[in-house]
Amino acid sequence: MPARPLPPQLRRGPFSVPRADELGVPRGRLRARDLSAPFHGVRATVPPATHAERCAAFAARMPVTQVFSHASAALLWGMPLPSALERGPVHVSALRGREPRVRGVVGHRLRADRVRVGAVRGLAVVSACDSWCQLATALSHDDLVAAGDRLLGWPRPLVSADELDAAIERHRGGRGTSARDAARLDLRPGAASPRETRLRLQVARAGFPEPELNAPIPLSAGWTAHGDLVFRAYGVLLEYDGEQHRGDDTQFHRDVERLNDLAADGWIVIRVGRRLPMERALDQLERALRSRGWRGVRAG
């Protein structure tokens, strides 16, 4: 026999068992096979697949004194994180009262004066700056920088540098202070992807000049291009080739036209992709820079 239809209010997304009780749904109906139980006290007609969907499911039972935090807030804000954290438990913090103790959730307690609270997709979260600060004890240096670069990233930063620095000061003295300070030194506005960030860090560690990120390059052809890592004083451009446009014929020809116009104006373009070992790319960058007058010393 088909399961009894749910009230319309419960068909729009995950719902709490108390809400179902209010609408007169029998408890036996909540044990039917067409419903999943992603968390204790929560039911869903479609099992949540992503971290954001699991957050939305837990929100059905989350009191107003709790907010998503740490890796969960960072993912909701769109920061790039290691896949293990995306697959990991949901992080929820209590601003008042006891932290949640539910399977599939890591509970925390927060001092309300140390964080700012916002909303993403209707979910209560700590601010993007605060979630980044909380990540300092969970991420490697480079992963923390990649997440922080997203905050200041191009073309639409999530926060200003002043907002980030204020958050770092709010968290000063707590766990991760030294990691946050070290990562802050390596953050730069203008990055468009975590791969660009990692490429920039490799370039810096090799002792090369500091590049501009996604900087405009006016061309004699009458338009302005943007380059990933721009060494303007030397006319050298280092780009991460994600290969995502190779199957797009229109985008492929735009890339060809762009590279031709850059070459016509004397730019040396070095493209880095998964198939080009980093050491070889750095060798090519060194030769290009030296051909244009760089006299520095390569590290390592």
pLDDT tens readout for residues 168-201: 999 999 899 999 999 999 999 999 999 999 999 9
CA distance 183 to 15: 40
Amino acid 248: pLDDT: 73
Contact 113, 174 (CB under 8 A): no
Q: Each residue of 243-293: pLDDT tens digit?
A: 555 567 777 788 889 999 999 999 999 999 877 788 899 999 999 999 999
Q: What angle do CA 95, 100, 103 make, to 5 degrees?
A: 155
Rounded (5°) CA angle 103-63-26: 70
For residue 269, what are its two tokens?
Answer: 């373009």
pLDDT in tens, 112-136: 888 999 999 999 999 999 999 999 9
**φ and ψ at 23, to 5 degrees?**
-90, 5
Confidence bin at 242 (pLDDT 50/70/90): low
Q: Rounded to two decimals, what is the model's pTM?
A: 0.93
Q: Residue 246 has what pLDDT?
A: 57
Mean pLDDT computed over 11-20: 96
Give the single-character DSSP code of 36. Answer: B
Give the model confidence (pLDDT) of 130-149 as tens digits.
Answer: 999 999 999 999 999 999 99
